[in-house]
Structure 1
Amino acid sequence: MFKKTRLVVAMITLVIVLYAINSRQLFVKRHIEKRVTLNKRLSGMSKNQTSSPHQSAIQYNLTKHSPIASQQQRTATQFPPKQDTAKAPSHIKSQQQATTIALEFNSFQIKNVSCAKVLQGDESEIKRVRKQRYNIPNDQTLIDHTYNCDLFRQVYGYNNILNTEEEKQFPIAFNILLYKDVAQVEILLRVIYRPQNYYCLHVDGFSPDLVHKAAKSLADCFDNVFIVSKTENIVYESFQRLQADLNCMADHLAKPDWKYLINLPSQELPLKTNLQIVRILKLLNNTNQVGCRRGVGMILRRFVYRYEYIYNKNRTYKIVNTHNKYKLPPRGFLAAKGSAYGLFTHQFVKYVLTSQIAKDVLDWCRGILSPDEYYWAILNFNHHVQVPGSGQEACLHVTALSTYASWSITKTPDKCHGKWMRNICVFGGGDLNMLLNRSELFANKFELEYSYTAIQCLSEWLHNQTLSPQTIDAQVYKRLYLKKMTYQLDPWTNLKPMKYNETTL
C-alpha cells in the first residue's frame, strides 16, 4: 500500500513538473512572438498611423534597450512617428499633394513688387526689383508637379481660364520650339492655352534627357498638347531649324479644324490675349502674314554660295561655306528674306507639305544659311505661283506681325533696358511699357531667370486683360498689314527695289 502511494505521488509530481516546463516554454514563445509583431508594426508604421503617448513610450523602451534594433526601427519610434505617404489613404494623399503643389506654386509668385508701376515704366520700382531674388521653377519642379495632372491643372489655374464663344469658333495651332527651361514653356503655355487650340512641342534633339522628360510630362497633362512625332538636332542657322517647324506642321494637319498656325520659340511671350489674337487674325482675311525684304537686307552671302553640313563622329555637325556659287531658286522664284516666324493659314500649311513646288523650293533651301528666314518669304511673295494665302502684298520691307524683337545691328536700334545677347535684346522689366504699345502679337526674347520679373508681370497683365473687353484698334492692322500691291517682278540678278502701285483696301 505504501509503495503504491509513493508511486502515485511521484507520478503527480512528474505531471506538475512537466506542466510547469511546458507553461514556461509557451510563455517565452508568446513573448517572443509579441516582440516580433511589435517590431514589424514599428518598421511599417505609415504616415497616417498615430499612437498614444503610452504606446510610444513602450515602443521607445523596447527599441532603446535592444542591441539589434535597426535604424529604421529607431526612426519609427520617434514621437510623433515619422510619416509614410505611400501607405496613406488616397484622399489624404491627394490633399497632401495639393497642399504641397499649391505652396510651391505660390512661392514662385513675385512678392513685394508693384507690377502696375513696372508696366508704367516707373524707374525707381524697376531699379528696386532688379535687386530682388526669387524662387524660380525648374524642370524637375515641373516633373514633380505634373505627376498628378488633375492637381497640376487645378493649382496652376488651367481649369479657370476664360474662353469666349468667339475664341472657341476660331482654334489656332501653335508650334513651340525649345531646347531648355520647360518651366518657362509652361508659363508661355498657361498664357496662350485654350482647350480648342493645339500645341506642338519640339524639343531639340541635343537637349538633355531632363528637358525631354519635363516636356513630355507637361504634354501628357493635356489632350491638345503633344510632342512632335519627329525630333531634329538643331544647330544655329541650320536647315534642321526649318525642318523642326515643318515636322510640327505635319502633325497639326491631322487636326483639321484650326484656322491659323503660329510658330514660336519658347522664349517668347504674347503681347495680346488669345481673343485679341483671334480678332487680328480675322482681319487678315485668310491671308498669311510674313515679314519680307529684298535688296541690301537680304544678306546675300547666305545664298549666293552653297553651304554644306559636315558631320562629325560624335554625331554633331557644323555648317561650312563651300565658296562655290549656288544655283538659282527653282521654278522662276526670286529670293526673299523674311522672318523665321509668321502667321500661316491652314491652306498654306497644307500646300507647304503637299505641293511639289513647295518641296522643290525646300530642297533649294538645304544649301543656304538660315533657311528658316527665307523659305516662308519666298513662297509667300512670289505671286506668279499663287500660293494659298499669299495675297498680293509686295515684298518691300514688310514688317513681321507675328513677333517683335529688338536688334542692336539695325541702323536705328531700339532701346534695350534688359541686356544684349547675340545682338538681340533680352527684355527686362524696364522694357514692358514699350512692349505693351507694340502692334505685334508676341515679343522675343525673355530668359527665365534674368527676365523673371518681366515674365511674371506681363503674365499678370495678360490675365487681367482677359477680364476686360479686350478691344483692338482694327484700323492699325488694316493700315499696316492689309495692303494689296500690283507690281513688276525684277529679274533674279537685278535685286533692285521693285516698282509697285499701292491700292489700300
Structure 2
Amino acid sequence: MFKKSRLIVAAVSLAIVLYAINSRQLFVKYDIKTGVTFNKQPSAMHMNQTFSTRSSIKNEVIQKTLGKPKKQVTNTELEFNSFKIKNINCANVLKGDESAIAEARKQPRNIPSYKTLIKHTENCDLFKQVYGYNNILNTEEEKQFPIAFNILLYKDVAQVEILLRAIYRPQNYYCLHVDGFSPDHVHKAAKSLADCFDNVFIVSKTENIVYQSFQRLQADLNCMADHLAKPDWKYLINLPSQELPIKTNLQIVRILKLLNNTNQVGCTRGIGIIMKRFLHRYDYVYDENGTYKIVNTLEKYKLPPHHFLTAKGTAYVLLTHQFVKYVLTSQIAKDVLDWCRGILSPDEYYWSMLNFNHHVPVPGSGQEACLKVTELSTYVSWAITKTPDECHGKWLRHICVFSAGDLKMLVNRAELFANKFELEYSYPAIQCLSEWLHNQTLSPQAIDTQFYKRLYLKKITYQLDLWTNLKPIQFNETDL
C-alpha cells in the first residue's frame, strides 16, 4: 500500500513538471544563432521575471559581442575637447621653429566663451573632472606653502578660468575682483566659476575702475582684506586676468622660499619716477550715469606724510603675509594711502613707497636700496624703452600682446608670470604655454637657486641708501 502511494505521488509530480515545461514552450523561442532564449508573449504573471531575464541575457550577449561598454562622452567633454587646436606642434613652437609658429597662426580655432563656462559649471563635479582640476599634481612641499592670489578682471572669464587652472592648488586662495563697470554676464560667469571651489571667491566689495584711478589700487586692497580671514597663507601675488604663469606652482613656492619672507617690489628713482603724476592734485569728476574721469586740478599737491619720499614701481608685486597685514592695520600705511588718492596710477607708487622708505620699519622690506630692483612678479614687454623689448605679437598701448612666436623667450625668463595675452589673438600661445606648464608639473624642472637667492642676499647686504638715516628732512621738488 505504501509503495503504491509513493508511485502515485511520483507520477503526479512528473505530470506537473511536464506540464510546466510544455507551458513555457508556449511563450519562449530559441535563437539558434546566439544560443539565447527570448520571450514571445509572456503572461502578466511572468512579465517581471521574463523581462529581467531577457535584459540580463541581452546585456550579456552585447558584452560578449562588443566587449565592455564604452564610457559615454558628455557634451561638456565634447565641447572642452573642441577648444583644443588640433594641428599645432607645441614642442616645435616652444623651440622657436618658424614653420611651426606660422602653421599655428593659420589653424582654425574654437574659442571658449562665458556662455560655455556658465553652462559647464552648472555641474561642478563634472566640470572639475573634465577640465582637469581633480588630477593636478600637488606635492607635500606645495601643500605646506599656501599662496593667496588676487585676480582682477573685467572681461573674458573663460581666459580667467585658463589662468586659474594653471595656478590652482586646493591649499591656495583666489580672490576674483570683477570690475564694477563690467557687463552682468561677466559677473555671472565669474560667480559660476567661483562657486565650484571652496577656495575661490568673489571679492566682498567691488570697485568701478578707470585707467590710472585710485580704484585700481583699492580693488587689490579689498581682496587683501578678504584674504586676511584665511590665516595660513605665506605670500600674496596680485594678477590681472590677462597674465599667465611661466613657472609652475612648485617652482613659485621654491622661489618665494628663497626670498626668505621679504617682499619683492619694483622701485625707480630719477627720471623714471614720472613727477607729473603727483606734482598736482587729481580729482574725480562723476557723470550722471556713474562713470567718472580723472582731472588735473593744476593745484600743487601736498607732500607725502611721515617724511616719505616718492618711489615708483609697478602694480604687480610679491608681498609677505605680514606686509599685507601691516598695510591694512598700520596708521602710517593708511596715511600714505590717503595721499595716493590724489595722484595718477597710485598702484605703481604705493607698494614701492611703503617698501623702500627705510626710516619706517615695514615687515618684509629688508634694507635694499631703490636702485635697479628686479621686478620678479611679472614680465612685461614694453615698446617705450630706449631699446624696445622683443615682441612677435602686437603692440597695444605700448605693451606687447604675446603670440606663439614669443614663447621661446618667455619660458626662459626668470619672472613668475607674463603679461599680456588676449584670449582670441593669443590663443595658440595660450594653448602651447598651458601644455608646457602641464608637462613641467609632471616632470619638475630645477630653478636657478643662486639667482633667486641673490635677490634676498642683496636685500640684507646692500649698503643702506640715504633714505634710511634722513632725520630732519628738508623737502623740495627736486627731492621728489
1:255 alignment counterpart: 230
1:219 alignment partner, one of 179, 187, 194: 194
Q: Superposition RMSD on alpha carbons, in Å?
A: 1.3
Aligned length: 402
Compute the displacement of 1:463 (Å): 0.3
For structure 2, the 5+ residue unaligned runs are 1-70
SS of equivalent residue, structure 1 residue 116: helix
1:124 alignment counterpart: 99
2:152 alignment counterpart: 177
Residue 276 (structure 2) pairs with residue 282 (structure 1): no
Compute the displacement of 1:336 (Å): 0.2
Compute the displacement of 1:110 (Å): 1.4
For structure 1, the 5+ residue unaligned runs are 1-94, 498-505
Compute the displacement of 1:495 (Å): 5.0
In 2: Cα distance, 1:369 partner to 1:123 partner: 42
SS of equivalent residue, structure 2 residue 281: strand
In 1: Cα distance, 2:88 partner to 2:318 partner: 35
- Runs of 4+ more than 4 Å apart: 494-497
In 2: Cα distance, 1:421 partner to 1:466 partner: 31
Q: Aligned AA for 1:299?
A: I
1:3 alignment counterpart: none
In 1: Cα distance, 2:479 partner to 2:359 partner: 18
Contact 2:258-2:456 at 8 Å conserved across structures: no
Contact 1:294-1:495 at 8 Å conserved across structures: no
Residue 405 (structure 2) pairs with residue 422 (structure 1): no
1:487 alignment counterpart: 465
**CA separation of 1:495/1:110 partners in 2, compared to 1, >3 Å: closer, same or farther?**
farther
TM-score if structure 1 supplies the norm length? Answer: 0.78
Mapping for residues 391-410 of structure 1, pairs under 5 Å = 391-410=366-385
Mapping for residues 452-471 of structure 1, pairs under 5 Å = 452-471=427-446
1:207-253 deviations in Å (ceiling 9; x for gaps): 00000000000000000000000000000000000000000000000
Mapping for residues 72-471 of structure 1, pairs under 5 Å = 99-471=74-446
In 2: Cα distance, 1:152 partner to 1:372 partner: 35
Compute the displacement of 1:479 (Å): 2.9
Compute the displacement of 1:470 (Å): 2.6
Compute the displacement of 1:125 (Å): 1.2
Q: Aligned AA for 1:190?
A: R
SS of equivalent residue, structure 2 residue 267: strand
SS of equivalent residue, structure 1 residue 173: strand
SS of equivalent residue, structure 1 residue 395: coil
Compute the displacement of 1:494 (Å): 6.7
% identical aligned pairs: 81
1:19 alignment counterpart: none
1:15 alignment counterpart: none
Contact 1:305-1:323 at 8 Å conserved across structures: yes
Q: Aligned AA for 2:465?
A: Y
SS of equivalent residue, structure 1 residue 330: coil
Please, which moves more after superposition, 474-483 or 225-234?
A: 474-483
1:22-67 deviations in Å (ceiling 9; x for gaps): xxxxxxxxxxxxxxxxxxxxxxxxxxxxxxxxxxxxxxxxxxxxxx
Q: Aligned AA for 2:342?
A: G
TM-score if structure 2 supplies the norm length? Answer: 0.82
Compute the displacement of 1:467 (Å): 1.1
In 2: Cα distance, 1:494 partner to 1:138 partner: 50
